[in-house]
Amino acid sequence: MERREIYLAGGCFWGVEAYYQRVRGILDTETGYANGNKEQTSYRQLSQSGHAETVKLVYDVHQISLAEIVDRYLRVIDPFSLNRQGNDVGTQYRTGIYYVREEDRRVAEAFLSYVERTEGRKTVVELEELRHFIPAEKIHQDYLRKYPEGYCHIGLSEAQKALYPGEEVPSRTELRQKLSREAYEVTQEAATEKPGSSCYLHHTQEGIYVDIVTGQPLFSTADQFDAGCGWPSFTKGITTDAMEYRGDFSFGMQRTEVKSREGGSHLGHVFEDGPQKEGGLRYCINGAALRFIPKERMKEEGYERLLPYV
């Protein structure tokens, strides 16, 4: 496990905290006040101290990437609303991404630039190095866990929806026409391709792998490694919600099957013998279940928003 921190301001911190508490890979949350002009403040002094209601997120980088955290953030706040989110108005409710590592700034910049290009207007999200973070009073910690009926400007159910669901699954007849025989047998009948046969086994080109059936993004080459097992291997999925897991007791073995979450395609299995410095998991995946999209073609094929994941 490798713990890192990022600090997000997105209006009332009750909802921002509750949302991320529902996301896999988030280890701890703490509400507080950040990036004001004083070293001390309180809930009642925010209009004078200039702090923003902020949530400190502690996450396991081996489970969730900062790219996913920022991606999710920009989906649940309004990045064009100045000093207002939901029903709350004031500078303490402004939006902001406050970082402690310079490389985190570049990830956030990439997403903000994408949103501005696609929407044709400038965001008002502060992107600054963290300063003067002060934990909020006890009443504000885990507020919506203690008071589930409390006010929330964020749709918490969004945390359970796939970020990139892909296209609708074709019928079996259409799939037989669309896919090669091997790809059909692997994705629909849980077959296993011959070891060493995948063209992605020793792949070095940057890009992403998507479900060959639906186009749902599954893996990034940033997480690919050579496991020496005969199949393409990864340390984690491109997002925490890309796949679903099921017990597999076939052939007298106890394994964990990996399937694409939205399309239900059989992909392979995940084992706990991967690189320890990367979290210890090895996603052993059939290349026949994947389609590779090079980094330079991601925009053309509609995956531009995923560029920061690569």
Give the other-Cβ count within 10 Å of 280's Cβ: 14
Q: Burial letters for 168-200: b for 16+ Cβ neighbours within 10 Å, e otherwise?
A: ebeeeeebeeebeebbbbbbbebbebeeeebeb
Element (H, E) at 186: helix 181-189
Q: Annotated catalytic, 284?
A: yes
Residue with tokens 């965001």: 123
- Among candidate residues 152, 199, 229, 284, the one labeled active-site is 284
Torsion over CA of 221, 160, 74 and 80, rounded to 10 degrees? 160
- Among candidate residues 12, 152, 199, 229, the one labeled active-site is 12
Nearest Cα to 283, choosing from 205, 197, 209? 209
> Can you tell me the distance from the alpha carbon of 59 to that of 2, in angstroms, rounded to the nearest whole number?
8
Give, as one character, the DSSP assignment of residue 225. Answer: E
Give CA separation, 37 vs 55, 97, 98, in Å.
Answer: 18, 17, 15
Q: 59 — phi, psi (to 5°)?
A: -135, 160
State the catalytic residues. Answer: 12, 284
